[in-house]
Amino acid sequence: MEIAKLEPLIVLTGAGISAESGVPTFRGAEGLWRTYRAEELATPIAFHRDPLLVWEFYAWRRELIAACEPNQAHWLLADIEKQISDFTLITQNVDGLHAAAGSRNIIEIHGSIWRMRCTSCGDRWDDGNVPLEKLPPPCPGCGEKARPDVVWFGETLDPEVLDHAFETVQRARVMLVIGTSGIVYPAAELPRVGKMHGAKLIEINTEITPISGIADQVYQSKATIGLQDWWADQQKD
């Protein structure tokens, strides 16, 4: 295989790549917490109304994710990155599993559940403690309440991070889209833009999605199997 034929290789991942690690997706049957749907809690309105409730949800998510490990798909992506010099991983996931598997060039467009942001002074800091001592966690600088440094439903993405992601997909020769529903915007726009700029689009998902129709190739399977199959197919070419 000629590796150069795959470069620049840009990978976009969503909640589906972490499903086999035991992290539930929001839309799946396991997306419920108590009686709430995630989409009802991961919002600025919910946090304004009841910060403690939203923090209890995130404390539960952090505990759940802390007990999870990267799966074969996370590991293989980290391995592929070692072999390809022009490689970028754009993820919608906030779970940190790509970094845990050894991926390096990562754009986390939806932030990280392991980072806090002060609602008052705007400071950000890493916090991997599970469980958290106090909910809502206080800002070490000003004492006001922190929030998870993630992008909630109804919020806009950091414009710099988003610009970086769009510039990156425009350069793509091959774009792999793994485990993302293609309905959360603006992330769902990324495969379209990549394709418009000439990328070969490969989708790996257990379901058919709005991206499937524009993909050059669809692996309708779990992330671990689909990625392994795609990588094996590249060795044949």
Q: Pick what 88 binds: ligand NAD, Zn ion, none; C-beta below 5 to 8 Å, kind-dependent.
A: none
Binding site for Zn ion (CB under 5 A): 118, 120-121, 123, 139, 141-142, 144
Quote the distance between the C-alpha of residue 154 and its chain's center.
Answer: 17
CA nearest 168: which of 83, 104, 92, 90? 90
Of 5 and 48, which has the nearer Cβ to Zn ion? 48
Rg, the chain, Cα only: 18
Among 62, 98, 195, 222, binds ligand NAD (CB under 6 A): 222
CA distances from 112 to 29, 117, 119 (A): 23, 10, 16
Q: Is 48 a catalytic residue?
A: no
Annotate 83-136 with DSSP letters as a single string: H-SSEEEEE---S-HHHHHT--SEEETTEEEEEEEETTT--EEE---SS-SSSS
The nearest distance, CB 208 to ligand NAD, in angstroms, is 9
The least distance separating ligand NAD from the CB of residue 181, rounded to whole angstroms, comes to 3
Query: Taking the complex as a whole, how short is the minimal distance between the CB of residue 82 and ligand NAD, in angstroms?
Result: 23
Which partner, ligand NAD, Zn ion, none, binds residue 16 by CB below 5 to 8 Å per kind? Answer: ligand NAD
Task: Tell which one of 179, 195, 202, 218 touches ligand NAD (CB under 6 A).
Answer: 179
Least separation in angstroms between CB 50 and ligand NAD: 20
Residue 43 vs 119, nearer CB to Zn ion: 119
Please report which helix (H) or strand (E) contains residue 230, including its range: helix 223-236
CA distances from 23 to 14, 27, 198, 220, 228 (A): 11, 12, 33, 20, 20
118 binds, among ligand NAD, Zn ion, none (CB under 5 to 8 A by kind): Zn ion
Where along the sequence are the contacts to ligand NAD (CB under 6 A)? 14-16, 18-20, 23, 25-27, 92-95, 110, 179-181, 184, 205-207, 209, 222-223
User: Would you please indicate which residues are annotated as catalytic (active-site) residues?
Assistant: 110
